[in-house]
Amino acid sequence: MSPYIELSRQQWSALASATPLPLSQADVEKLRGLGDPIDLAEVDAVYRPLTALLQDYVVTTRERARRTSGFLGIDEPPTPFVVAVAGSVAVGKSTTARLIAHLLSRFPATPRVDLVTTDGFLLPNATLEERGLLTRKGFPESYDRRALLGFVAAVKSGAPRVSAPVYSHTVYDIVPGEVITVERPDVLVLEGLNVLQPAPRLRHEAAALGSSYRPQALAISDYIDFSIYVDADPADIRRWYLDRFLTLKRTAFTDPRSYFRRYADVPDDIAVAAASRIWESVNLVNLQENIAPTRDRATLVLRKDANHHMREVLLRKA
Ligand SMILES: Nc1ncnc2c1ncn2[C@@H]1O[C@H](COP(=O)(O)OP(=O)(O)O)[C@@H](O)[C@H]1O
Ligand SMILES: CC(C)(COP(=O)(O)O)[C@@H](O)C(=O)NCCC(=O)O
């Protein structure tokens, strides 16, 4: 017995055939992440049914809110519907998050969709260094978890304007003074490695986070309406990570501001060896210890094969 309904690629892609796909191959190429080969056929097979399902969740959640307001005799408008996208580094979360955001914004019920990535809540490198956490970037303790929780709580409280800090992959650090502002959209897509993390264990983890950290039992997932875990074999994700590192070596790393500038000019095998060390000592450990254990908290799991193609979809039973 499983709490999930398991659907093969064929079963899933046959669903919602009447839902239009308001997207062209050029749109897909703009939205897909580096190294992700996704094309219009894959979007049609995976994201058309997913968008139709999400639309239904939004509509029924609003109906629930309307009925509750009616019961209470008040006029409380619904808060943004929050969709979370979780999974390993390099698994393709950003492609999934951008496609969902773009597709949902084409529907009349959800024209205003915002996308926020949790990397904006990483602690600045200077703070990570002070705490001995520079080699733990992406681990739960490398984030300002209180600020992230406060951000999502404010969105789900219906606050008119909420801001989040911004991270630069190029500089590999928080961009001082830059923010992204969310103004009560219809849908907020929240993408990040740790969006399904449970609350820190109250006493000893809170102590490890420093005296300013107030223990609390809430987690971001308490404010999520629908969550998606992008899943793949760690051996495949490793390969995608190394391939992407080599592509970045020829593109983003040549930028003088790039934190990885030093790898732009070294032979490929040296760069691959460095990427392999980062994968093995940071991202794989984080996947095994923190990210993969949250998979079964997701509403929906997208399982990919070695070529980024969706193999299977798991959906929580109602
Ligand atoms: N060092 C880097 N320099 C520039 N861009 C990067 C770097 N590392 C990752 N990216 C980009 O950042 C985005 C998020 O990457 P990641 O967190 O690994 O998530 P995912 O691959 O699951 O979308 C991707 O679009 C990726 O191409
Ligand atoms: C910035 C990230 C922690 C992802 O952050 P997220 O938006 O998922 O919270 C990750 O992409 C990253 O840079 N990890 C550090 C190790 C590495 O360079 O691969």
pLDDT in tens, 176-201: 999 999 999 999 999 999 999 998 76
> What is the tens place of the pLDDT at every residue in 150-180?
999 999 999 999 999 999 999 999 999 999 9
- Going 27 to 251 to 304 to 81, the CA torsion angle's sign is negative
Tokens (6 digits) for 28 = 């897909």
CB of 93 closer than 6 angstroms to any ligand 1 atom: yes
CA neighbor of 244 nearest in space, from 90, 138, 93: 90
Q: What is the dihedral of CA 54, 189, 193, 95, to 10 degrees?
A: 80
Q: What is the pLDDT of residue 249?
A: 96
Q: Which tops the pLDDT comparison, 204 or 184?
A: 184
State the sign of the Cα–Cα–Cα–Cα dihedral 35, 43, 296, 59: positive
H helical segments located in the chain: 9-13, 25-31, 40-72, 93-105, 125-130, 145-156, 202-208, 234-250, 261-264, 268-278, 284-286
Q: What's the CATH code of the domain at 30? A: 3.40.50.300
Predicted local distance difference test score (pLDDT) of residue 213? 58
pLDDT band, residue 312 (cuts 50/70/90): very high
Q: For residue 304, is pLDDT > 80?
A: yes
* pLDDT reported for residue 279: 98
Q: What is the residue whose two structure tokens read 């001995």?
A: 132
pLDDT at residue 128, as a whole number: 97
Mean pLDDT, residues 122-134: 97
pLDDT of 17 reads 82
Banded pLDDT at 22 (limits 50, 70, 90): confident
Give the tokens for residue 7. 């659907």
| Distance from the alpha carbon of residue 123 to the mean position of ligand 1, in angstroms | 17
Residue 203 pLDDT class (50, 70, 90 cuts): low
Residues 6+ apart with CB under 8 A from 41: none
Residue % of the chain over a pLDDT of 90 = 86
206 pLDDT above the threshold of 90:
no
Strand 81-87 and strand 4-8: pairing?
A: unpaired
Q: What is the pLDDT of residue 204?
A: 62
Predicted pLDDT of residue 149: 95
Ligand closest to 275 (CA) is: 2
How far is 303 from 81, CA to CA, in rounded Å?
24
Structural domain range at position 178: 4-316
94 is in an annotated binding site: yes
How many domains is the chain partitioned into structurally? 1
- Residue 49: pLDDT over 70: yes
Residue 215's pLDDT is 60
The string of pLDDT tens digits covering residues 222-271 is 999 999 999 999 999 999 999 999 999 999 999 999 999 999 999 999 99
Ligand 2: which residues within 6 Å by Cβ?
A: 89, 117-119, 137-138, 192-193, 278, 282-283
CA 152 centroid distance within chain? 14
pLDDT in tens, 83-99: 999 999 999 999 999 99
Which pLDDT score, from 0 to 100, does residue 207 have? 65
Residue nearest to atom 11 of ligand 2 (CA): 89
Residue 226 and residue 84 in contact, taking contact as beta carbons nearer than 8 Å? yes
> Nearest residue CA, atom 1 of ligand 1?
169
Is the predicted pLDDT of residue 208 greater than 80, yes or no? no
Among all ligands shown, which has an atom nearest to the Cα of 140?
A: 2
Q: Is 88 annotated as a binding residue?
A: yes
DSSP conformational letter for 280: I
Mean pLDDT, the chain, integer:
94
Q: Is 250 exposed, middle or buried (0-12, 13-18, 19+ CB in 10 A)?
A: exposed
Which residue CA neighbors atom 24 of ligand 1 most closely?
A: 33
pLDDT at 35: 86
Torsion sign over Cα 7, 11, 14, 15 = negative
3-state secondary structure string, 189-211?
A: EEECCCCCCCCCCHHHHHHHCCC
> Which ligand is located closest to the Cα atom of residue 138?
2
Answer yes or no: is the C-beta of 254 below 6 A from any ligand 1 atom.
Answer: no
| Structural tokens at position 64 | 């629930």
Helix axes 93-105, 40-72, angle to 10 degrees: 60
How far, in Å, is the centroid of ligand 1 from the Cα of 248?
Answer: 9
20 by Cβ neighbours in 10 Å (0-12 / 13-18 / 19+) ranks as exposed
Ligand 1 in reach of 91 Cβ (< 6 A)? yes
Q: Which residue has the tokens 């017995």?
A: 1
Residue of 4, 32, 11 lying closest to 96 (CA atoms):
32
Mean pLDDT of 47-53: 95
Cβ-contact 91, 230 below 8 angstroms: yes
Atom of ligand 1 nearest to the CA of 88: 22
- The reported pLDDT for the residue numbered 291 is 98
List, for residues 263-300, the tens digit of each pLDDT value. 999 999 999 999 999 999 999 999 999 999 999 999 99
User: Residue 211: pLDDT above 90?
Assistant: no
Cβ burial, residue 184 (10 Å; 0-12/13-18/19+): middle
Residue 90 CB–ligand 1 contact under 6 Å: yes
Whether the complex's predicted ipTM is more than 0.85 is answered with: yes
Q: Per-residue pLDDT averaged across 139-151, rounded?
A: 95
Distance CA 52, CA 20 (A): 9
